[in-house]
Structure 1
Amino acid sequence: MRRHPLKLDTVREDRAIENLTSRLTESFADIHTPEDIESAIRTARESFAGDPVRDYVPILVERIVRDELTPKPEPVEQPDRRSNWTRPPSGGPISTTAGAPRHRFPIALPAAVAGVLVAATVATVLVVRSGDDVQAQTGQVTLRGVIGSEKRAFFEDPDVKAALAEHGLEVRVDTAGSREIATSVDLGGYDFAFPSSTTAAERILQPAAGRPAVSGKKYSVFSSPMAIATYQPIVDLLSATGIAKQVDGTWYFDVRRYVDLAKANWRWTNVRGNTTYPVNKRILITTTDPRTSNSAAMFLAIVSYVANHNSVVQSAADERKVLPLVAPLFVNQGHTDNSSEGPFDDYLSLGMGQSPMVNIYEAQFVDAAVQRKLKPGMVLMYPSPTVQSKHTLIALNANGEKLGELLSTDPELQRLAARHGFRTADQAQFANVVNQYDVPVVKDVIDVADTPTYDALERMLDAVSKSYR
């Protein structure tokens, strides 16, 4: 991608724009050429040329370009969601793994060309429906779901696909941030939604702006405690300050001490004798965007609990007390990714110079160990306290219910879930995986904070979102 000709120091912004270009090229590959997507991003970014505050430019550019690239079709009658045929969802999803044919066309279309494309689209719909009729005759059912990105590898696993096929199911998924699934993704064309926590699932079942309440059955399929991905030189440095300590081979991170240091605006250069990471950056844990992502919401649950003197935030008075302490932990990071996949991919590939500590799901670290992606010196550390994130499937119809039951009870699917790092009802499966690959996880997660109620967490998330402005 061509560099933007700004005079400001925009190295971090350039990298965020490059990541954005990659995501949007994947998302809109069916309908726009890479050249058109890059041109739209460049034009949107140029509208902010000369603005001195750059931290939020990538976020604003993404909103502008997504709105520009998203098709605005004429309203058409939608088929019954309960039938075997399901339409592709409009808007919402960030990326897709569905195997639809790819057609590219420029952003601006002459009327005659647009008419031809409409006719071709109608023909394609007829072909797709015919194919689904064949699937109905053979007993194979295709489901569509929208999931948190940390579960993408699980659903793309050939062994998982084969296990589902034995039960007559083919599952195609789109990915988005869990809060994005709960608030802005159109669920009309999906059979299930699979965010990363009970809180996000509960929000799906509540009416939201522009969307009625969703009726569906809940399945708590997997769980994963929140953890921190870091590096041995960093834990050694933190150990010297008392923030990190090792117990029985497992590293723990003192969240109380972290909140106090952040309040005092400590930087890495303030750590006495720091020759390991002498960088004049705030001591912050990299999270995702709390406005869209569940992993950031779970981190907010942890730090708000500690800031409230190890008590769950319940009242408006509690919220007023903790927000000045916890909001800067997110806002001071600048640009953050929309889903947990991005920061962890950076952790695996870029080293500690970019982000010395990254808030993750434990499952991501275990999955990377199984896939042999971890490098020497990479360390898993648990916040003390942490929270358990329960990955909860919302079935939107009978087919979704069948999938929820299978993922919750089928021994083979539970074994495969454990191979991807998730804790399931069968604890022995997870224990076998971490023992086989020698992953230093804690067997029983004991130091767990209680999470706020759905309403209290949403109010805090809204307040943190306003802090960005």
Structure 2
Amino acid sequence: MSRVNPGADVVQREAQAMRRMTESLVEDLSENVPVDQVTSAVGAAHKRFAGTPIREFVPILVERIVRSELADPDPTVRVPAPSVRATVAAPEPVARHEVPGARGRASRRVVVPLSLGAIAVVAAVVAGLVLLPGGAQTPAAAPVAPATVVRGVVGSEKMAFFADERVVRVLADNGIAVEVEPAGSRQIATSVDLDRYDFAFPSSSPAAERIQRARAITAKYTPFSSPIAIATFRPIAELLTAAGVITPGPVASFDMNRYLELAAGGVQWDDLPGNTTYPVAKNILVSTTDPRSSNSAAMYLSIASYVANDHTIVRGATAEAHVLPALSKLFLAQGYTDNSSEGPFNQYLSNGMGPTPLVCIYEAQFVEAAAAGRITPDMVLTYPTPTVLSSHTLVPLTRTGDTIGRLLTDDPELRRLAAEHGFRTGDTAQFSAVAAAHDVPVVADLIDIVDVPAYDTLERLLDGVANSYN
């Protein structure tokens, strides 16, 4: 990632996203927090990301900071945003016999910006002190070896997991402080400078495969996964039930074949018979992220391509040419799309069915939002039939990156916490218990799952859709 000034279009898109996010925060917090305090907090949080090269996720991160700060019931103990940068020793490069094919890096000392959790761990170790309420200090029980700071670039839907203080604590117990930055999965695989990181953690196996090919790495870990789902609202679900798209039940399903028929015919919401709840002159379309950069859109494209190809995985130039017009229409008709799966889902949570009556998400996002109390009774989770399982795949780039992969895969507490964030870890009972605890009806055993196209085919389909934007 080169540190360059963002272009005018990026600045404009960020400004629009910041305005929408600020309006949403003001509306959500207005009962307890004055408007000027909200806008001031947004401005202060926004300044913290000045100079950040990747801008797509800034509004999302600003919203999380502001919600966390202003929702604090006792502002007297709020921790101010850190403005320091800690100098730490970079991890040793991976020996080729430990992580086969991994590209080593010369040992060096670097200046690494640390998150609140990482700073807390490193500061406590360096000072040898424990801070108590009121600012009192007491000597630590025993000296602790400095934590190794491990840097990763991850899909944005995993940011909350790595920011969870319980996750930070488990990693600290293993002598590690993880510092992560978000990026779209396709960005991670194509344009991010991976020499800056110890591990790459995109949200799909095709993106991970591309990284492995480019860097001649064979090692990988798939600690958790999440199927693609479609979030909607009860009035919309009732309309689409009458239209034959949604089948209600304990777990609602979304018929992709019927949906593609409506999309291909350009059917609008106000064309649906008896529609008095959402009579708008807009095409019936699922809101997605940008397929040029985001994995969730690529997974959605995989589902649509399978259905459009007569329920057969796309293979070969003829099949690609056959499905591309239908696929392109699904994305072009949406207008502006975010680069991160957090974008459309946060709009769904904050703004209701007006702008986003249907949104493509990861199942994990819905479960995690329910655990945070952000799902209302009129919000409905549906599963497209068929769907795809997005396998979150970690590619280690250094020895310490390999350690993170092993910990996420093998540590029972990290697996439990991943389930609490809505991810499936292979323990079906554990995931189902989390979903049930938050009243989210989920498919316990996924059956109607299709494979994504081969890596090269998926890339050509994505490039074909991207070219249609021009």
The one of 124, 147, 152 aligned to 2:154: 147
What is the aligned-residue identity percentage? 52
The alpha-carbon deviation at position 177 of structure 1 amounts to: 0.6
Give me the whole-angstrom Cα distance separating, in 1, the residues matched to 2:46 and 2:213: 28
- Report matched runs for 1:45-444 at 5 Å: 81=105, 83=107, 85-86=109-110, 88=112, 97=115, 138-207=145-214, 213=215, 215=217, 217-247=219-249, 249-444=250-445
Secondary structure of the 1:205 match is: helix
Distance change >3 Å, CA 460–CA 428, structure 1 → 2:
same
Distance change >3 Å, CA 253–CA 12, structure 1 → 2:
farther
TM-score (norm 2): 0.74
The alpha-carbon deviation at position 139 of structure 1 amounts to: 4.7
Give me the whole-angstrom Cα distance separating, in 1, the residues matched to 2:203 and 2:466: 20
Question: Which range is displaced more, 79-88 or 20-29?
Answer: 20-29
Secondary structure of the 2:220 match is: strand
Give me the whole-angstrom Cα distance separating, in 2, the residues matched to 1:88 and 1:14: 28
What one-letter code is carried by the residue in structure 2 that aligns with 1:241? A
What one-letter code is carried by the residue in structure 2 that aligns with 1:290? P
Is contact 2:223–2:425 with CA below 8 Å preserved after alignment? yes
Q: Report the RMSD for the aligned CA atoms in angstroms.
A: 3.1
Give me the whole-angstrom Cα distance separating, in 2, the residues matched to 1:31 and 1:16: 16
Is contact 1:144–1:192 with CA below 8 Å preserved after alignment? yes
Secondary structure of the 2:387 match is: coil
Secondary structure of the 2:225 match is: strand
Is contact 1:192–1:396 with CA below 8 Å preserved after alignment? yes
The alpha-carbon deviation at position 256 of structure 1 amounts to: 0.6
The alpha-carbon deviation at position 180 of structure 1 amounts to: 0.6
Secondary structure of the 2:242 match is: helix
| Match in the other structure for 2:48 | 29
Give me the whole-angstrom Cα distance separating, in 2, the residues matched to 1:236 and 1:82: 59
The alpha-carbon deviation at position 97 of structure 1 amounts to: 4.5
Give me the whole-angstrom Cα distance separating, in 2, the residues matched to 1:20 and 1:82: 42
What one-letter code is carried by the residue in structure 1 that aligns with 2:245? I
Is contact 1:87–1:189 with CA below 8 Å preserved after alignment? no
**Superposed CA offset, 1:235-278 (max 9, x none):** 1010011111023x111111011111111111001101100100
Distance change >3 Å, CA 214–CA 409, structure 1 → 2:
same
Is contact 1:84–1:142 with CA below 8 Å preserved after alignment? no
Is contact 1:297–1:461 with CA below 8 Å preserved after alignment? yes
What one-letter code is carried by the residue in structure 1 that aligns with 2:219? K
Unaligned runs of 5+ in 2: 1-11, 23-38, 56-90, 94-104, 128-142
Distance change >3 Å, CA 437–CA 99, structure 1 → 2:
closer
The alpha-carbon deviation at position 408 of structure 1 amounts to: 0.5
Give me the whole-angstrom Cα distance separating, in 1, the residues matched to 2:148 and 2:366: 33
Give me the whole-angstrom Cα distance separating, in 2, the residues matched to 1:27 and 1:408: 35
What one-letter code is carried by the residue in structure 2 that aligns with 1:230? T
Is contact 1:88–1:189 with CA below 8 Å preserved after alignment? no
Is contact 2:92–2:398 with CA below 8 Å preserved after alignment? no
Give me the whole-angstrom Cα distance separating, in 2, the residues matched to 1:334 and 1:30: 27
Give me the whole-angstrom Cα distance separating, in 2, the residues matched to 1:326 and 1:237: 24
Give me the whole-angstrom Cα distance separating, in 2, the residues matched to 1:160 and 1:79: 23
Is contact 1:253–1:384 with CA below 8 Å preserved after alignment? yes
The alpha-carbon deviation at position 428 of structure 1 amounts to: 2.3
Secondary structure of the 1:193 match is: strand
**Superposed CA offset, 1:404-459 (max 9, x none):** 01100111000000000000022222122112222101111111122100000000
Give me the whole-angstrom Cα distance separating, in 2, the residues matched to 1:376 and 1:392: 33
What one-letter code is carried by the residue in structure 1 that aligns with 2:200? A
Give me the whole-angstrom Cα distance separating, in 2, the residues matched to 1:230 and 1:271: 17
**Superposed CA offset, 1:49-108 (max 9, x none):** xxxxxxxxxxxxxxxxxxxxxxxxxxxxx996464845559xxxxxx957899xxxxxxx
Q: How many residues of Structure 1 are paired with residues of Structure 2 in the alignment?
A: 375
Distance change >3 Å, CA 13–CA 99, structure 1 → 2:
closer
Give me the whole-angstrom Cα distance separating, in 2, the residues matched to 1:251 and 1:423: 19
TM-score (norm 1): 0.74
